[in-house]
Amino acid sequence: MGTSKRSSSSKGRPKRTDAAAGVAAPKAGTKRTGGAPSVSAADLPALRQGIDALDAKIVELLNERSKLVVKVGEYKRANSIPIYAPHREAEVLSRVLGRNQGPLPARTIEAIYRELMSGSFALEQPLKIGYLGPQGSFSHVAATRHFGSSVAFHDLHEIAGVFNEVVRGHVDYGLVPIENSIHGGVTETLDAFIASAGRVHVYAEVQLAIHHALMANCRPDRIEKIYSKPEVFSQCRTWLATQYPRAELVPVASSSRGVQMVAEATGGGGSAKGGGKGADSDEREGPPIAAIGNELAGELYGVNILFPKIEDNPDNLTRFAVISRTQAQRSGDDKTSILFTTLNKPGALVSVLSCFERAKVNLTHIDKRPSGRTNWTYSFFIDAQGHVSDGAMTRALASARKHCKELTVLGSYPRSRRVL
């Protein structure tokens, strides 16, 4: 078997053809501008042929991966192991993002793999996910971005309802907002944790960037009323005062409900995916009303997005908890959520917190709510870095229990490192 000749300009290196990927190498003498090859119309057929070859290979590999996923699912079902494993999800994402050399950004790679894992859930065992509705809420956005589109979503109307459906086993997991970077803890979620302590566990956490958009099916200069939640108005206060100082701000139960109301007034009925009549259609322009919500709500209900990202603080984040009847496995980069009520004695709270300081366990969050049992007694929530099985955490918890009436570990779960 002979060896192929190499030109002297290659200096002993084989000619780069990207044959494994099916992409032809640039022809010798191709002009380069700023270090990049100049592509002409004559090059497009070969480039597209290379793309088609890669697509065929990708599909082949995805199906090979899926066959392995099915086998993993068979083992999990036979051994009563949860299909959704956040520690494994974190491991896969960390590995693939670490290997990404571009030009695709990490955010794109993560979105692709989250959707791939969503399809894997459907192959192993279809998952049912409960979230705080209605459709188009930020909880809906967080659920779809985290779990992908291949799971069954259940639109539930109250945070307590999400907890109840998880406890009853009507859904596999629930997703609830737990904390906003501007407004702090979500009291309904904290109260639900108190009511269901020991029956529901924090299984994972999700961080979502909060972006608000002004939506309407009329011209921007005709808007007289704007619907949304009071919290949303406060997060867009400066923009609204500048752009719509005379508009009436009408509070509603949820931002997605406000978008529904605009769709209904336009004649679309306000049903998800039914859509209202857009301002660009041949139909009569809609009434002079608008809503502020996320862009998914506008897409679902057929209301035009006039101005995206109108929030005053571009760094606004909401943290969500994925709740489950089971506990998550250790990932190596974990967080532990703890609920406790102190003894009625001077310095009791300081004594509890000092237990974590002495064990060198870092606390990242603290909140409180009325216990709901005795007036003027409170339940405290803390998040600590580390897993409940870590030696330092075990020592801290054992010491803290001595100063508490009750102490419940709500869950140890992989720490969220990326914002969706």
pLDDT digits (tens, 9 = 90+) for 223-246: 999 999 998 999 999 999 999 999
Among the three residues 280, 307, 334, which one is the final residue of a domain in this structure? 307
Give yes or no for residue 7 having a pLDDT over 80: no
- The percent of residues in the chain predicted with pLDDT above 70, rounded, is 87
Among the three residues 307, 337, 353, which one is the final residue of a domain in this structure? 307
Write out the two tokens for 40: 């002409």
Q: What's the CA angle centered on 116, arms 111 and 118, to 5 degrees?
A: 95
Question: Which CATH number does the domain housing residue 163 bear?
Answer: 3.40.190.10
Say which range, 9-18, 48-57, 195-204, has the weakest mean pLDDT.
Answer: 9-18
CB-CB contact of 189 with 196 (8 Å):
no
Mean pLDDT calculated for residue range 35-51: 81
Does residue 332 share a domain with residue 251? Answer: no
Does residue 295 share a domain with residue 172? Answer: no
Q: Which residue has the higher pLDDT, 212 or 32?
A: 212
Centre a 10 Å sphere on the Cβ of residue 127 and count the other Cβ atoms it contains: 20
* Residues 6 or more apart in contact with residue 270 via CB below 8 angstroms: 260, 261, 263, 264, 276, 301
Give yes or no for residue 256 having a pLDDT over 70: yes
Q: Match 């508490």 to its residue by tokens.
A: 404
227 occurs within a structural domain: yes
235 occurs within a structural domain: yes
| Closest by Cα among 191, 200, 207, 188 to 414 | 207
Does residue 341 share a domain with residue 390? Answer: yes
Note the pLDDT of residue 35. Answer: 55
Note the pLDDT of residue 28. Answer: 40
Give yes or no for residue 143 having a pLDDT over 60: yes
Mean pLDDT calculated for residue range 82-90: 79
Q: Can you tell me whether residue 156 is helix, strand or coil?
A: strand
Structure pTM?
0.76
Does residue 298 share a domain with residue 174? Answer: no
Write out the two tokens for 85: 């494993």
**Is the preceding peptide bond at 103 cis, omega within 30 degrees of 0?**
yes
Backbone φ and ψ of 79, nearest 5°: -110, 15
Note the pLDDT of residue 253. Answer: 84
Backbone φ and ψ of 410, nearest 5°: -75, -25
Note the pLDDT of residue 26. Answer: 42
Note the pLDDT of residue 36. Answer: 57
Give yes or no for residue 25 having a pLDDT over 80: no
Backbone φ and ψ of 333, nearest 5°: -140, 80
- Domain holding 237, by residue range, is 213-307
Q: Which residue has the higher pLDDT, 208 or 127?
A: 208
Q: Which residue has the higher pLDDT, 325 or 40?
A: 325
| Closest by Cα among 237, 132, 143, 256 to 186 | 132
Does residue 323 share a domain with residue 405? Answer: yes
- Please give the Cα distance from 42 to 219 (Å, whole number): 45
Note the pLDDT of residue 161. Answer: 94
38 occurs within a structural domain: no
Query: In this predicted model, what pLDDT tens digit does every residue of 166-193 receive, in sequence order?
Result: 999 999 999 999 999 988 889 999 999 9
Does residue 336 share a domain with residue 410? Answer: yes
Give yes or no for residue 292 having a pLDDT over 80: yes
36 occurs within a structural domain: no
229 occurs within a structural domain: yes
Query: In this predicted model, what pLDDT tens digit does every residue of 364-378 receive, in sequence order?
Result: 999 999 887 777 788
Q: Mean pLDDT score of the chain, rounded to an integer?
A: 84
* Residues 6 or more apart in contact with residue 305 via CB below 8 angstroms: 213, 214, 215, 295, 298
99 occurs within a structural domain: no
- Please give the Cα distance from 31 to 303 (Å, whole number): 48
pLDDT band, very low/low/confident/very high, at 273 (cuts 50, 70, 90): low
Does residue 204 share a domain with residue 330? Answer: yes
| Closest by Cα among 411, 389, 404 to 355 | 404
CA 278 vs CA 81, 194, 227, 289: distances in Å: 47, 45, 18, 13
Does residue 217 share a domain with residue 180? Answer: no
| Closest by Cα among 163, 198, 199 to 178 | 163
CA atoms within 13 A on the CB side of 222: 13
Does residue 303 share a domain with residue 154? Answer: no
Query: In this predicted model, what pLDDT tens digit does every residue of 313-337 receive, in sequence order?
Result: 999 999 999 999 999 989 989 999 9
Note the pLDDT of residue 272. Answer: 60
Q: What's the CA angle centered on 172, arms 168 and 178, to 5 degrees?
A: 90
Note the pLDDT of residue 271. Answer: 56
Query: In this predicted model, what pLDDT tens digit does every residue of 110-131 receive, in sequence order?
Result: 888 878 877 777 676 778 999 9
Among the three residues 307, 330, 361, which one is the final residue of a domain in this structure? 307
Note the pLDDT of residue 70. Answer: 82
Q: What's the CA angle centered on 175, arms 71 and 204, to 5 degrees?
A: 60
Does residue 265 share a domain with residue 250? Answer: yes
46 occurs within a structural domain: no
Give the number of domains in the chain.
Answer: 2
Q: Which residue has the higher pLDDT, 115 or 259?
A: 259
Mean pLDDT calculated for residue range 2-23: 39
Q: Which residue has the higher pLDDT, 420 or 216?
A: 216
